[in-house]
């Protein structure tokens, strides 16, 4: 039985003048798709050879910038996203989901390409405060993006529908895990870098606690940085300066925490206002 084979040139004898045809599929009778001895190039009987040329057309692996690619073999609607440093037009062209000045970037930390806190990149290269909404509950267990990082206050999914907290951080970044993660990424900086005058914004990390304002193992309350919230236990929370209060009562109404003993597992954010999450570089 004949089966399709790509990328071969076949020589078949036909009567009459030489003809060259460009086609997209050649054939072989070999089970593995190799032409082997079935390639025909007979020259007797006064016949002429016919070249059957297999033309693949543009692809995402041809080493050429073509179709709607934004860089060689990446970006656009047909090819995989581009790596950092390659050209882009929109954020979907980038694996990091951040297209800054037509270049895929990993330096801002927020998936929508804008930082709301820790805006001084020289002082805070490894931590960002990223505002946005999410409808899929929780902070502790939602470690993989759910809506392709489309949320954020400058993203394409402003309501955060079917997004989780991880969608607010760009590729190569994550929602800061705990006090130690925040401390390491702050470097010589402090949580004051996330305090935006009159913004009424809180930015959470993943770690919760056992209650009593403590940052430790547990599911009670949210902790982070910002200009709203109440002070947590300084001994266990270290550089983290804000606490959510029971059922997020100390935070803006865009924070919804229905379970007063498991805020970290049930929290959603209904709008972009009021902050979001702390994103740390991987």
CA pair distance 234, 133, nearest whole angstrom: 28
Could you tell me the pTM of the whole model? 0.69
CA pair distance 239, 39, nearest whole angstrom: 73
Going from the C-alpha of 236 to that of each of 189, 192, 228, the distances in angstroms are: 18, 18, 19
Q: Are 18 and 91 found together in one domain?
A: no
Q: Are 49 and 76 found together in one domain?
A: no
Q: What local confidence, expressed as pLDDT, does residue 92 receive?
A: 85
Please enumerate in sequence order all residues whose Cβ is within 8 A of that of 44, keeping only pairs 6 or more positions apart, or say none: none
Q: Are 193 and 77 found together in one domain?
A: no
Q: Are 77 and 187 found together in one domain?
A: no
Q: What local confidence, expressed as pLDDT, does residue 21 receive?
A: 36
CB half-sphere exposure, 187, CA atoms < 13 A: 14
Q: What radius of gyration do the chain's Cα atoms show?
A: 28
Domain that holds residue 164: 127-281
Token pair, residue 64, equals 């050429």
Q: Are 91 and 49 found together in one domain?
A: no
Q: Are 154 and 50 found together in one domain?
A: no
pLDDT, tens digit only, all 282 positions of the chain: 333 333 333 333 333 333 333 333 334 444 444 434 444 444 444 444 455 555 667 899 999 999 999 999 999 999 999 988 899 998 889 887 778 779 887 778 999 888 999 999 899 999 999 999 999 999 999 999 999 999 999 889 999 999 999 999 998 899 999 999 999 999 999 999 998 867 899 999 999 999 999 999 999 999 999 999 999 999 999 999 999 999 999 999 999 999 999 999 999 999 999 999 999 999
Q: Are 16 and 142 found together in one domain?
A: no
Q: Are 200 and 135 found together in one domain?
A: yes
Domain boundary among 74, 105, 136: 105
Domain boundary among 54, 72, 90: 54
Token pair, residue 208, equals 């919760």
Going from the C-alpha of 112 to that of each of 100, 155, 161, 201, the distances in angstroms are: 10, 5, 15, 17
Q: What is the 3-state secondary structure (H, E, C) of the chain?
A: CCEEECCCEEEEEECCCCCEEEECCEEECCCCCCCHHHCCCCCCCCCEEEEEEECCCCCCCCCCCCCCCCECCECCCCCCCECCCCECCCHHHECCCCEECCEECCCCCECCCCCCECCCCCCCCCEEEEECCECCCCCCCCCCCCCCCCCCCCCCCCCCCCCCHHHHECCCEEECCCHHHHHHHHCCCCHHHHCCCCCCCEEECCCCCCECCECCCCCCCCEEEECCCECCCHHHHCCCCEECCHHHCCCCCCEECCCCCCHHHHCEECCCCCEEEEEEEC
Q: Are 239 and 211 found together in one domain?
A: yes
CA pair distance 151, 282, nearest whole angstrom: 20
Q: What local confidence, expressed as pLDDT, does residue 143 receive?
A: 92
In a domain, 118, yes or no: no
Token pair, residue 66, equals 């073509």
In a domain, 215, yes or no: yes
Q: Are 138 and 96 found together in one domain?
A: no
Token pair, residue 117, equals 């806190």
Q: Are 208 and 162 found together in one domain?
A: yes
In a domain, 47, yes or no: yes
Q: Are 167 and 50 found together in one domain?
A: no
CA pair distance 7, 25, nearest whole angstrom: 8
Domains contained in the chain, number: 3
């Amino acid at each position: 039985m004949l089966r399709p084979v790509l990328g071969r040139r076949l020589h078949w004898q036909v009567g009459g003048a030489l003809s060259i045809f460009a086609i997209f599929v050649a054939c072989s009778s070999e089970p593995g798709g190799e032409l082997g001895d079935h390639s025909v190039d007979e020259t007797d009987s006064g016949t002429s050879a016919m070249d059957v040329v297999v033309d693949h057309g543009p692809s995402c692996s041809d080493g050429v910038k073509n179709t709607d690619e934004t860089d060689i073999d990446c970006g656009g609607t047909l090819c995989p996203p581009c790596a950092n440093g390659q050209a882009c037009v929109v954020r979907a062209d980038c694996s990091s989901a951040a297209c800054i000045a037509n270049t895929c970037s990993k330096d801002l930390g927020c998936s929508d390409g804008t930082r709301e806190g820790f805006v001084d990149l020289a002082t805070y290269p490894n931590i960002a405060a990223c505002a946005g909404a999410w409808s899929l509950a929780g902070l502790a267990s939602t470690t993989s993006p759910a809506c392709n990082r489309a949320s954020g206050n400058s993203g394409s999914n402003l309501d955060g529908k079917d997004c989780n907290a991880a969608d607010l951080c760009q590729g190569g970044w994550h929602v800061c895990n705990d006090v130690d993660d925040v401390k390491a990424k702050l470097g010589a900086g402090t949580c004051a870098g996330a305090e935006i005058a009159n913004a009424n914004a809180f930015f959470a990390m993943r770690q919760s606690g056992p209650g009593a304002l403590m940052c430790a193992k547990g599911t009670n309350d949210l902790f982070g940085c910002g200009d709203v919230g109440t002070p947590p236990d300084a001994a266990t929370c270290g550089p983290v300066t804000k606490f959510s209060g029971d059922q997020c009562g100390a935070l803006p109404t865009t924070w919804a925490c229905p379970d007063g003993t498991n805020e970290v597992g049930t929290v959603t954010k209904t709008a972009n206002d009021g902050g979001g999450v702390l994103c740390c570089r991987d």
